[in-house]
């Protein structure tokens, strides 16, 4: 065996602690995997392998490598020297400090005379992060928790910035974290792998927690909760009993998703279900929205289980429609209405008659139309409803615009659905005497209702987009609640948790647990074998954070009264609609029975945008293998698509083209991150390469917080350079070996007016933008400050310290280290946040150019109407200009108010022989 050959490793183990809890590797036969370029064997070292995103480490090998230890150390040293600043040392140091000193712990007893700030994240769902990788017939299966991708920390970073700001502004800050860990994904994964869901869920929780801590979030980890713990779901069960007592929980027969025994295919079957009567609170849920700070076509579509559908299918379409029904019935209502999901449907082959104009309207079967909403059949309006527009565009259904803004005569009716208010009707006259052209949309709606009632085509009815909540399925028969003193009802441990195939839940297999005794009569009884969905646990978790260890009541009334309601609640919009609706319903029930003191749980809700994967460039080839331009490619023909690397692409006007052939236009598009597309960016990789502060800063700098944004590696490199410039400005340039000296280059001394003005403008902007959740423009203000500071001759310590405090909510690790190097021994987490001095923000000031002997030497900041004497005094106080005047005689001053000051110096004494 020569020195360049690596032997096949005998077995595999996870590479790093981050993967040790989230990967299982099973081998049936030896593998031949190619080592990565930077990996090698040695008598004292292990070997790294990489394949399809997984990196694994073998046991120690006894075979020497051609790469020497010296060369490896040299490469490592070169990497260190290239770093803009030593984040790899700074970040672990301060994370350890925060944990050891419990820097962000909220005590049980707080000073209630201080204002409170409860900032909350929609807690993560670690049970859903399961994946499986198969490597053909090699017999290797890698299963485990994928953890977070870079889209997840977007909202978490925003709440952390807000929490840190309020903490420094003197608030009692409450910033907890927990896990929404019950749910179908964990159960499905358990069924597929035979692994108990408790094992995989705990493993994923540990994975999530380690990633969140690596990003420096200021969570109150002492109050961490998990919906799977008995001490938590005891109170979820208790809330259900309160609903039952008040007639808000009842049983009814409704269709639900069920597994077929062998294939695990989901189908809908009518079963007896537990329902929650949320409709009883419909009026209150609507009316109370007024006090909250929350974000706010014609085709006939049928729900696929609609009773009329069998009679509306043409013979030619019947088989296709039945196939589509089977496919769509496997989707839950949540999946079918999810905003980001692609809508699907099929033409029924039949038409309906529009009673107003007699036109034939095609009848489609669509997955986003719910049978539980009104009649299960809708008159779609693709021109004026986003979902209908997407559906019509996909299936080439004609779109007719009938509404336009009343102040837009040049309204373009071919761009996207117009859903705005302040609109008038167009193209809306009919053959039946109904003419609503030119009317305000609200007036027109009333006139249509009146016409429909008069002609017998319809009648007025108030409908809520609300139905009773299907909570869980149940066997038929008498029901009796267990005693509250017997809570929690702990779930039994099951070895077999596969579906029963009968519609009964897996718990039905725990026969000895199911058989019990009625607590009131003493007669034999059967336990309820269905479990509540994860929605139940997430409906009230924000309350449990306030008092997580209380075994006597859901939450202490004094604590609840102080911390309620949640001041800011941040999360994605995709699943938030139903969650917020259910949470408000449960909260109002708890309010009615005296458990909580507020009518609403969340004062302000903010929906973050999503982070898309990096832009992918797609080229098209004809069957001969030649590139064809995207604008001339026949996408319906035999066209081959090819992903083009970014380095082979250039921009030409508004398009992207091949660098080697600018006549070939490409399609440039960013997609939502998903493992199937291969565009997921792991935050661990970003932190390793650029540091956690760079990731935090970049996610806030990408664009407006509420908008969708596209990930760009070059973008994160930009904010990384900004942090490096900040570090070098305050610490100094690196030493020859790449390390940095201790301390700072900042000096004690009075700052100039210009320096103070630059600082206070930055303070005002950053404060305003954080509080308005416009984080990207706050970062821009800090970048402008650093650019200005690099032009100063001196760096006053007092100015630098204020800036470091400004930076700290965004980039806490580097800020803590700079604060320490500026001579402070304690964390800056509770230092007062800087306040802008209005004296330096007055817009009446002007920049006055200063000349000496007719040559421009600098500028000073003056007030409008400033006298010549005051202007010259400011020049004399300026650090740079005063040096040019020191010891010189003044011949005269030429002053044009607000325009220029020219100081003419007298002749100097020149010694003989000296020029």
Mean pLDDT for the stretch of residues 431-452: 82
Structure tokens at 498: 């596969």
Structure tokens at 733: 């340039």
Alpha-helical runs (H) found in 69-152 = 69-82, 87-101
Bridge partners (DSSP) of residue 54 are 51
Q: Which residue has the higher pLDDT, 133 or 330?
A: 330
Distance of CA 160 to the CA centre of its chain: 13
State the Cα–Cα distance between residues 901 and 912, nearest whole angstrom.
33
State the Cα–Cα distance between residues 418 and 406, nearest whole angstrom.
12
Q: What are the residues whose beta carbons fall under 8 Å from the beta carbon of 433, sequence distance 6 or more?
A: 451
Q: Is the predicted pLDDT of residue 330 greater than 60, yes or no?
A: no
Range with lowest mean pLDDT among 18-32, 616-630, 847-861: 18-32
How many helices (H) and strands (E) in the chain?
26, 35
For 761, 832, 850, 902, the CA distances from 895, given in Å and listed in that order, are 28, 42, 10, 6
Q: Is the predicted pLDDT of residue 265 greater than 50, yes or no?
A: no
Mean pLDDT for the stretch of residues 299-324: 59
Evaluate the omega torsion of the peptide bond into residue 257 and state whether it is cis, within 30 degrees of 0.
no
Q: In this structure, are residues 369 and 380 in contact, taking their beta carbons and an 8 Å threshold? A: no
Mean pLDDT for the stretch of residues 786-802: 95
pLDDT of residue 888: 86
Q: Is the predicted pLDDT of residue 27 greater than 80, yes or no?
A: no
Arithmetic mean of pLDDT over the chain: 78
Mean pLDDT for the stretch of residues 53-65: 36
pLDDT of residue 692: 96
| Residue 31 pLDDT level (bands cut at 50, 70, 90) | very low
pLDDT tens per residue across span 160-176: 999 999 999 999 999 99
| Residue 338 pLDDT level (bands cut at 50, 70, 90) | very low
DSSP-assigned letters across all residues of 303-314: -TT-TTGGGG--
Q: Is the predicted pLDDT of residue 473 greater than 50, yes or no?
A: no
SS3 string of 832-852? CCCCCCHHHCCCCEEEEEEEE
Mean pLDDT for the stretch of residues 8-33: 31
| Residue 465 pLDDT level (bands cut at 50, 70, 90) | low
**Where is mean pLDDT largest: 511-520, 683-692, 900-909?**
683-692
pLDDT of residue 466: 59
Bridge partners (DSSP) of residue 143 are 24, 132
pLDDT of residue 234: 94
Q: Is the predicted pLDDT of residue 426 greater than 70, yes or no?
A: yes
Percent of the chain with pLDDT strictly greater than 90 = 36
Q: Is the predicted pLDDT of residue 264 greater than 50, yes or no?
A: no
Percent of the chain with pLDDT strictly greater than 70 = 74
pLDDT of residue 630: 83
Q: Is the predicted pLDDT of residue 817 greater than 90, yes or no?
A: yes
| Residue 357 pLDDT level (bands cut at 50, 70, 90) | confident
Of the candidates 352, 377, 383, 353, which has an alpha carbon nearest to the alpha carbon of residue 365? Answer: 377
State the Cα–Cα distance between residues 93 and 820, nearest whole angstrom.
12
Q: Is the predicted pLDDT of residue 368 greater than 80, yes or no?
A: no
Of the candidates 613, 696, 551, 838, which has an alpha carbon nearest to the alpha carbon of residue 87? Answer: 696
Q: Which residue has the higher pLDDT, 595 or 498?
A: 595
| Residue 593 pLDDT level (bands cut at 50, 70, 90) | very high
Q: Which residue has the higher pLDDT, 251 or 268?
A: 251
Q: Is the predicted pLDDT of residue 384 greater than 60, yes or no?
A: yes
Q: Is the predicted pLDDT of residue 195 greater than 70, yes or no?
A: yes
User: At CB < 8 A and 24+ separation, what contacts does 194-200 make?
Assistant: 195/143, 196/497, 197/127, 197/497, 198/228, 200/127, 200/130, 200/145
| Residue 435 pLDDT level (bands cut at 50, 70, 90) | confident
Alpha-helical runs (H) found in 119-183 = 153-168
Alpha-helical runs (H) found in 705-826 = 713-731, 753-771, 775-789, 797-807, 812-821
pLDDT of residue 555: 97
**Where is mean pLDDT largest: 101-115, 327-341, 400-414?**
101-115
Range with lowest mean pLDDT among 130-144, 411-425, 485-499, 617-631: 130-144
Mean pLDDT for the stretch of residues 110-137: 70
What pTM value is reported for the model? 0.70
| Residue 789 pLDDT level (bands cut at 50, 70, 90) | very high
pLDDT tens per residue across span 609-648: 888 888 888 888 888 888 888 877 765 567 788 888 888 9
Q: Is the predicted pLDDT of residue 37 greater than 90, yes or no?
A: no
Q: Which residue has the higher pLDDT, 540 or 714?
A: 540
């Amino acid at each position: 065996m020569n020195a360049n050959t690596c032997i096949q490793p005998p077995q595999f183990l996870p590479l790093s602690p981050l993967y040790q809890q989230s990967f299982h590797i099973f081998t049936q036969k030896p593998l031949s995997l190619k080592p990565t370029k930077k990996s090698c064997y040695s008598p004292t070292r292990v070997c790294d392998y990489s394949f399809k995103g997984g990196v694994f480490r073998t046991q120690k090998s006894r075979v020497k490598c051609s790469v020497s230890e010296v060369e490896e150390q040299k490469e490592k040293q070169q990497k260190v020297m290239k770093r803009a600043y030593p984040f790899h040392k700074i970040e672990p140091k301060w994370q350890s400090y925060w944990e050891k000193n419990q820097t962000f712990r909220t005590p049980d007893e707080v000073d209630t005379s201080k204002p409170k700030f409860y900032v909350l994240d929609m807690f993560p769902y670690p049970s859903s992060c399961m994946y499986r990788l198969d490597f053909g017939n090699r017999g290797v299966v890698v299963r485990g928790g994928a953890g977070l991708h870079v889209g997840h920390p977007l909202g978490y970073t925003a709440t952390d910035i807000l929490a840190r700001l309020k903490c420094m502004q003197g608030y009692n800050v409450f910033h907890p974290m927990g896990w929404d860990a019950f749910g179908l994904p964990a159960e499905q994964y358990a069924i597929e792998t035979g692994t108990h869901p408790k094992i995989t869920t705990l493993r994923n929780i540990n994975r999530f927690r380690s990633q969140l801590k690596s990003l420096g979030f200021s969570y109150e980890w002492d109050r961490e909760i998990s919906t799977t713990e008995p001490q938590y779901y005891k109170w979820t069960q208790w809330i259900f009993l309160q609903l039952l007592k008040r007639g808000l929980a009842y049983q009814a027969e409704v269709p639900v998703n069920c597994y077929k025994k062998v294939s695990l295919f989901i189908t809908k079957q009518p079963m007896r279900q537990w329902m929650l009567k949320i409709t009883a609170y419909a009026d209150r849920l609507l009316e109370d929205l007024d006090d909250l700070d929350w974000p706010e076509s014609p085709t006939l579509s049928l729900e696929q289980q609609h009773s009329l559908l069998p009679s509306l299918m043409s013979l030619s379409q019947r088989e296709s429609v039945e196939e589509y029904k089977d496919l769509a019935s496997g989707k839950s209502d949540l999946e079918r209405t999810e905003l980001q999901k692609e809508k699907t449907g099929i033409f029924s082959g039949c038409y309906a008659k529009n009673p107003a104009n007699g036109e034939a309207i095609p009848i489609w079967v669509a997955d986003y139309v719910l049978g539980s909403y009104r009649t299960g059949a809708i008159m779609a309006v693709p021109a004026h409803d986003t979902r209908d527009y997407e559906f019509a565009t996909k299936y080439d259904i004609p779109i007719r615009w009938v509404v336009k803004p009343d102040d837009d005569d040049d309204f373009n009716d071919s761009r996207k659905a117009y859903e705005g208010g302040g609109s008038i009707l167009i193209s809306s006259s009919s053959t039946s005497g109904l003419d609503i052209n030119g009317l305000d949309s609200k007036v027109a709606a009333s006139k249509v209702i009146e016409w429909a009632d008069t002609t017998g085509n319809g009648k007025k009815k108030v409908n809520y987009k609300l139905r009773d909540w299907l909570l869980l399925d149940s066997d038929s028969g008498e029901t009796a609640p267990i005693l509250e003193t017997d809570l929690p009802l702990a779930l039994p441990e099951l070895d077999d948790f596969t579906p029963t195939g009968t519609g009964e839940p897996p718990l039905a297999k725990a026969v000895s647990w199911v058989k019990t005794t009625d607590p009131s009569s003493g007669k034999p009884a059967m336990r309820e074998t269905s479990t509540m969905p994860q929605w139940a646990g997430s409906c009230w978790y924000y309350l449990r954070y306030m008092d997580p260890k209380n075994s006597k009541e859901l939450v202490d009334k004094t604590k609840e009264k102080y911390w309620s309601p949640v001041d800011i609640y941040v999360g994605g919009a995709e699943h938030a609609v139903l969650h917020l609706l259910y949470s408000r319903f449960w909260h109002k029930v708890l309010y009615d029975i005296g458990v909580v003191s507020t009518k609403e749980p969340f004062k302000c809700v903010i929906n973050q945008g999503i982070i898309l994967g990096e832009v992918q460039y797609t080229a098209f080839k004809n069957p001969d293998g030649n590139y064809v331009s995207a604008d001339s490619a026949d996408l319906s023909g035999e066209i081959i698509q090819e992903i083009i690397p970014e380095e082979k692409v250039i921009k030409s006007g508004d398009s992207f083209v091949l660098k080697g052939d600018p006549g070939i236009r490409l399609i440039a598009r960013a997609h939502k991150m998903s493992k199937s597309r291969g565009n997921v960016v792991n935050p661990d990789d970003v932190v390793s390469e650029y540091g956690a502060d760079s990731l935090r800063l970049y996610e806030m700098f990408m664009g407006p917080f509420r908008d969708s944004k596209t990930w760009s590696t070059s973008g994160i490199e930009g904010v990384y350079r900004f942090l490096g410039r900040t570090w070098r400005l305050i610490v100094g340039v690196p030493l020859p070996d790449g390390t940095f000296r201790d301390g700072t280059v900042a000096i004690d001394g009075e700052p100039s007016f210009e320096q103070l003005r630059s600082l206070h403008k930055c303070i005002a902007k950053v404060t305003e933008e954080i509080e308005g959740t416009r984080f990207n423009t706050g970062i821009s203000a800090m970048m402008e400050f650093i650019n200005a500071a690099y032009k100063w001759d001196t760096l006053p310590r007092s100015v630098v310290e204020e800036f470091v405090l400004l930076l700290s909510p965004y980039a806490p690790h580097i800020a803590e280290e700079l604060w320490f190097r500026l001579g402070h021994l304690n964390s800056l987490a509770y230092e007062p946040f800087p306040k802008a001095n209005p004296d330096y923000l007055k817009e009446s000031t002007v920049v006055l150019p200063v000349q000496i002997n007719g040559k421009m030497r600098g500028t000073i900041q003056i007030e409008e109407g400033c006298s010549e004497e005051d202007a010259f005094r400011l020049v004399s106080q300026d650090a740079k200009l005063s040096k040019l005047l020191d010891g010189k005689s003044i011949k005269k001053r030429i002053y044009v108010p607000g325009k220029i000051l020219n100081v003419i110096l007298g002749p100097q004494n020149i010694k003989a022989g000296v020029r």
